């Protein structure tokens, strides 16, 4: 499920709920999610360690521990990582959980089990992420960087936006929403994009992601839990057949690289 905004939200919530804490033990209910590490070895390495802080890289949630190791949570399609006050009330799809003081817990809930959890030396993290493209919300990230990452690339613009080696953080929803905001058709060939269009796309991506982070906080402040797609105020994603919020023409859906693409055929050019 989660893309950059949801991963960012999880990290900020963790920092609020448990700025630092001690991991007492780890319970792995689904060993395949930590493979190839053995559950026992992983448990031995983290049990008794203190969590010093949290970070996000691309769609990964990172927990930095006090002995030079970091846990990396890859959320996959349906993963959530969060703090709960009472480990006696674990959510339905809990796949593993960390016992914390006073019965609190970190929970990894992942119905579809595409997520995973890995342990790395903290100093090795740059190597782990070596194949990743730039962070779109990095202040140093310019539209020229975006354009440059597409140099020599062919094919349509939307699959490009999903390619984490070109640019991290976008998934199927926010790629579609960014293209809508930039008024660009998802099937536009990369070489056809003009400089003003790259500029517009860059702006659209940053605004879309920033707004999505803010909106996740706004929605969850009242509703609790993680927001469903229909609560995220999408302008095209999942809205096939419904009127475009800009021009009232029906939103269309087609399949691109095996994924659903939603767009307005009338006002995305």
Partner DNA sequence: TCGATCCTGTAG
Partner DNA sequence: CTACAGGATCGA
Q: Is 2 in the site for DNA (CB under 7 A)?
A: yes
Q: What is the rounded distance in angstroms from the CA atom of residue 140 to the CA atom of residue 59?
A: 19
Of these residues, 3, 6, 8, 177, which one is catalytic? 3
Q: Is 58 in the site for DNA (CB under 7 A)?
A: yes
Which contacts qualify for 61-69: CB closer than 8 Å, 24 or more apart? 61/7, 61/10, 61/11, 61/14, 62/11, 62/125, 63/14, 63/106, 64/122, 65/23, 65/122, 68/121, 68/122, 68/123, 69/45, 69/119, 69/120, 69/121, 69/122
**Cβ nearer to DNA, comparing 53 with 238:** 238
Task: Judge whether 88 counts as a catalytic residue.
Answer: no
Residue 186, φ and ψ in degrees, nearest 5: -65, -25
Count Cβ atoms below 10 Å from residue 102 Cβ, excluding itself.
8
**Which part of the chain contacts DNA (CB under 7 A), choosing from 39-47, 96-104, 200-208, 225-233?**
225-233
Task: Judge whether 19 counts as a catalytic residue.
Answer: no
Q: Is 77 in the site for DNA (CB under 7 A)?
A: yes
CB of 15 to DNA, least distance (A): 19
Binding mask 122-161 for DNA (x = CB under 7 A): -------------------------------xxxx--xx-
194 contact partners, CB below 8 Å, separation of at least 6: none
Do the beta carbons of residue 103 and residue 114 sit within 8 Å? no
Task: Judge whether 59 counts as a catalytic residue.
Answer: yes
- Collapsed DSSP state (helix, strand, coil) of residue 120: strand
Binding mask 106-125 for DNA (x = CB under 7 A): -----xxxx-----------
**How many residues in the shown chain lie near DNA by CB under 7 A?**
37
246 burial level (CB within 10 Å; 0-12, 13-18, 19+)? middle
Task: Judge whether 259 counts as a catalytic residue.
Answer: yes
CB of 5 to DNA, least distance (A): 7
- Member of 6, 8, 109, 197 binding DNA (CB under 7 A): 6
**Cβ nearer to DNA, comparing 82 with 160:** 160
- Collapsed DSSP state (helix, strand, coil) of residue 150: coil
47 burial level (CB within 10 Å; 0-12, 13-18, 19+)? middle
**Cβ nearer to DNA, comparing 53 with 156:** 156
Of these residues, 56, 59, 95, 166, which one is catalytic? 59
Q: Is 227 in the site for DNA (CB under 7 A)?
A: yes
- Collapsed DSSP state (helix, strand, coil) of residue 25: strand
Residue 137, φ and ψ in degrees, nearest 5: -95, 0
- Member of 20, 29, 228, 247 binding DNA (CB under 7 A): 228
CB of 102 to DNA, least distance (A): 29
Residues tagged active-site:
2-3, 59, 259
The site for DNA (CB under 7 A) is made up of: 1-3, 5-6, 32, 58-59, 74-77, 93, 111-114, 153-156, 159-160, 162, 164, 171-173, 190, 227-229, 232, 257-260
């Amino acid at each position: 499920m989660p893309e950059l905004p949801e991963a960012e939200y999880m990290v900020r919530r963790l920092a609020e709920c448990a700025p630092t804490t001690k991991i007492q033990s780890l319970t792995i209910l689904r060993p395949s999610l930590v493979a190839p590490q053995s559950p026992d070895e992983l448990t031995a390495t983290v049990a008794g360690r203190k969590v010093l802080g949290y970070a996000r890289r691309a769609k990964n949630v990172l927990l930095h521990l006090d002995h030079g190791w970091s846990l990396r949570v890859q959320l996959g399609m349906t993963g959530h990582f969060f703090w709960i006050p009472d480990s006696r009330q674990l959510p339905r799809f809990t796949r593993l959980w960390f016992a914390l003081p006073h019965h609190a817990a970190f929970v990894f809930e992942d119905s579809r089990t595409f997520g995973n959890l890995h342990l790395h030396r903290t100093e090795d993290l740059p190597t782990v992420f070596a194949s990743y493209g730039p962070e779109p919300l990095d202040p140093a990230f310019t539209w020229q960087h975006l354009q440059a990452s597409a140099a020599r690339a062919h094919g349509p613009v939307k699959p490009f936006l999903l390619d984490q080696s070109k640019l991290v953080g976008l998934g199927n929803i926010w790629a579609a929403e960014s293209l809508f905001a930039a008024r660009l058709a998802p099937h536009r060939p990369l070489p056809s994009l003009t400089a003003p269009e790259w500029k517009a796309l860059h702006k659209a991506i940053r605004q879309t992601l920033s707004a999505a982070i803010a909106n996740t906080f706004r929605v969850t402040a009242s509703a609790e839990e993680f927001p469903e797609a229909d609560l995220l105020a999408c302008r095209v994603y999942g809205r096939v057949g419904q009127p475009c919020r800009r021009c009232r023409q029906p939103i269309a859906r087609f399949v691109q690289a095996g994924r659903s693409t939603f767009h307005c055929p009338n006002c995305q050019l």
